[in-house]
Structure 1
């Protein structure tokens, strides 16, 4: 029940939403369910919205809140594995906030 964090580039040739294409740019896999557990216990609004069985798609406009919440959780944890994973998620969030036409997909199992 991990939650993989995937940075995707969005391209939409033409005006039809049916022609929307996503290309994976980078991923932080949650093979040990570390991120899923962090989100499950989090009291922060955006992280607590993450569904370990569904998907949550975030845009650049939502990155300031996500980055702040990820940093808050990183400062609170004493677990090295959680710190490393949260730093990687933070990095993808920063990329999403600065790279045009990208989304951050939080993909549950």
Structure 2
């Protein structure tokens, strides 16, 4: 099971969820399970509480406000990467997270299979 990562632009007028409009800005597919594999290596060891919330079968959405913590925890993933394929996908996730961090209208969504 892979974990895809989507950068989503959210536009919402007011507080009603019915007035929420989303558009996908970018997507990283995890067809070969590289992200899911490195996540499995670090989850539930007490170092990455935010990454621990990523469910390979579920959905997690993180806001731009959460990106500084996420980027810090992403460094733990980079330390555990084995090989260029895992490093490449983590680099791509970092770029999306940095973009998300810089805009309050963006969120990062993790979509499990």
TM-score with structure 2 length normalisation?
0.88
Identify which of 93, 100, 111 aligns with 1:107. Answer: 111
> Which whole-Å CA distance do the structure 2 matches of 1:76 and 1:14 have between them?
42
Q: 1:16 to 1:78 in 2, by over 3 A?
A: closer
Contact 1:71/1:86 (8 A) holds in 2: no
In structure 2, the residue matched to 1:77 is 81
Contact 2:38/2:81 (8 A) holds in 1: no
List alignment gaps of at least 5 residues for structure 1. Answer: none
In structure 1, the residue matched to 2:33 is 33
Aligned length in residues: 109
> Which whole-Å CA distance do the structure 2 matches of 1:16 and 1:45 have between them?
29
Moved more, 76-85 or 1-10: 76-85
Shift of 1:104: 0.3
TM-score with structure 1 length normalisation?
0.91
In structure 2, the residue matched to 1:54 is 58
> Which whole-Å CA distance do the structure 2 matches of 1:78 and 1:33 have between them?
13
Q: 1:26 to 1:17 in 2, by over 3 A?
A: same
Secondary structure class of the residue paired with 1:53: coil
Shift of 1:65: 1.2
